[in-house]
Structure 1
Amino acid sequence: MRTQDSQQGGAADEALADPPPAIGTDERRMHVRAYNFWVSLLGGRAFPSIDDLDPASIGDFGPNSVLLDFTADESNPRIAWLGRALREEGELGADVRTLADVPGRSLVSRLTDHFLQIIANRAPIGFEAEFVNVRGNSALYRGILMPFSSDGETIDYIYGVINWKELADAALTADIVAAADRAMAALRAEALVPAPTPAVAPSWADGPSRSFASPSSPAVEVGDESDLADALALARESASTAASSDLRSRAALYRAICHAYAFACATEDAPEAYAELLEDAGLKAQARAPMTPIAKLVFGAACDKTRLAEYAAVLAHARRHAVQPDGMTRFLDRFSGGLKAIVAAERAARRPAAARPDPRERLRETPAAATLAFSVEPEFVLLLGRRAGPGEVAILGVTDDSGLVERALRYAARD
């Protein structure tokens, strides 16, 4: 829920959220490996060449992949490759030749919700949700779509990789839980194991347990280089979504900021892995601006420099206040004025004290334009006046409101 102040700050945030819940490691890593594979084929081009892609030779995620060919029909692409796992999941036969041939309750059919986005965004798109499959069971899926080109400019092929988990039906789940509870109760009665502490159910975006997950911000536990790379890839995906022309929104941007902050915190636990990521990206750590490389890694070095500086300032201010990754959404939501206000607060905090002279010292030496008889306690007050005639000002009132007076003092003492 947004406060009124944060809603007002949304207009200023514009292109400057509740982050997606954490998902299973295996599902995320297949998605990350697919993305890294796509990056490895770029070779300095905007998109990899379709000539460099051979899904049949990819043993890792090839069976979970599909290749769509848009060269003949942009609205109904031909299925140039369909991996064995996806074919079996949807019970798809040899008669399935185009996307329109795919039945509605198969994972491949879910691509129709996303492939137009990737053509508009001209960048990989990640997605995750829940659906009911051909067997009538609920399944949680996560995937990524990646653009390929035959001429280096036009996106005429899209390669998708999808992983999923099929859920047991409610009756079977209840039986399993009940049996496990009985077994644990018996063990506790024999003092063989301690009573368990309640755990938060895992959650997927739009999944059945989303409402039960307590953290609203990403909590990243990093123990090695692979985990840190996963955290970075997840942050980059959110940043790509936030930058999408048709998906640009304050919520998407806040989501990207939250993931970037989670990655920034994770780097502190894996300094060597972070150093390798910086070296691979041709970046250097900056002692005076430690969040700038983070912003470049997540949002891309080609991102507008002003935006990068603002994103880095937001991350730095959260770190200055020791915000935990799972509290970043709350921090953003409750900061009056939105991201622009956070940027201003961070820059004010960085400014050396000598560069911020007290305006009172300067104004005490300023000659008075006029003297009025008022009974006031503070040294400085703010008067409200109205032009009464040529060379005349009518004083309507006086206030010593600290916020108003402070802003007026700084305005009056400016160079």
Structure 2
Amino acid sequence: MDSLRAFEDEPDFGSPSDEEDAIEAPPEIGVDERRMHVRAYNYWVSLLDGRPYPSIRDLNPSDLGDFGPHSVLLDFSGDGDDPAVAWLGNALRTECGLIGDIRRISDVPKRSLLSRLTDHYLQIIANRAPIGFEAEFVSQLGQNTMYRGILMPFSSTGDTIDFIYGVINWKEIADSAVIADIAREAERALAAGVPSVEASPVWADGPNAEPPSLLHGTDEPEEAAVFDPDAGLADRLCAARESAEAARGADSRSRASLYRALGLAYAFARAAEVDVQGYRELLEDSGLKAQARAPMTPVVKLVFGADYDKARLTEFAAALSWARREDIAIDGLRAYLETFEGGLKGVVQAERRARRPEPKPDRNEAIREALRNAPAFARVAMDTSEEFVLILARRETGGVVSLLGPLADPALTERAIRKAAA
């Protein structure tokens, strides 16, 4: 079955998806397969320019070498019931074995990969927002295929959806019979035993060479790769993403798995400070930009996915910013989160407090203090409970002023106080 969702509604860790009876939920596709539709979504967002939908005039699939060959453009402007196929990428056409022209949705072969895109166009019109989907199916060629895609609305008028642009990526996977055969062969091999091998010289790159140790005192393989001082930036990002995927799928919303993922994300962020060019290239590959005012936001989008829940991404970025503010060691954030009062939430609150600007001095209080010390022209007895009183006076002949009494107007008094300090 297909798993459908609006792109802004990414489930949190461990959130179950709806399933149909007697149909298993499709397995998640790995990071590499998912990146194409994330880049497509980021591209769609970049075209919005404050509008409900991007203009179709800004879209030219033939210029999108990254995902244009994996895409299709549907035109509803002429026939909403059977929209025209305005563009079909070569990679998608080849995968579906298409030879002739595909002019309309009604021409799309059933059980083709293209049909997995076009079958969802009504959902996007109903949701009026990008729709992401993923599934596993048997193609018309009998090949078990796993795919992940996205449909995005476009408009020629600015407020009506009359075009839909879809991008899809896929990979072939072994069917259950092949997997079962492999399992049986493995069992027979294990039962027969492994013959002993005579000792032979070990070359650094030979078949008997032992893999280099990356552990450096940690029991977690992904942490080992990240905390190895010689690990490359891409390796660190890969390990952080794998940990984030594990945390996302944790059955019990494991706090430990989330803290591990954040620790690896922080280690990647610290490494990116050194390998500036490598970090810039990773951002460009993912369609992201560095942010001077929020430097950790692109980091968490790289690790957890740009389509992840925005509120959670904001919290994760705040936690990484606090760790950098406190100059926590590259491998120390996980333990820090475990011991900090309130855990992740406590760290996020601490960072938000640190970001608040210093309160401005109370200028009115400074004015009042100056008036308290100002010399008095005269003193008269008057019954009042206010510290400062605005008094109405009348000028008499001979340079005499008669005091008529106080004015009970707090707002007018405040303005007079401020005026006195000018």
Kindly name which structure, 1 or 2, has the bigger radius of gyration based on alpha carbons. 2
- TM-score using structure 2 length: 0.46
Which has the bigger relative contact order, CA under 8 A and spacing at least 6? 1
- TM-score, normalised to structure 1, is 0.47
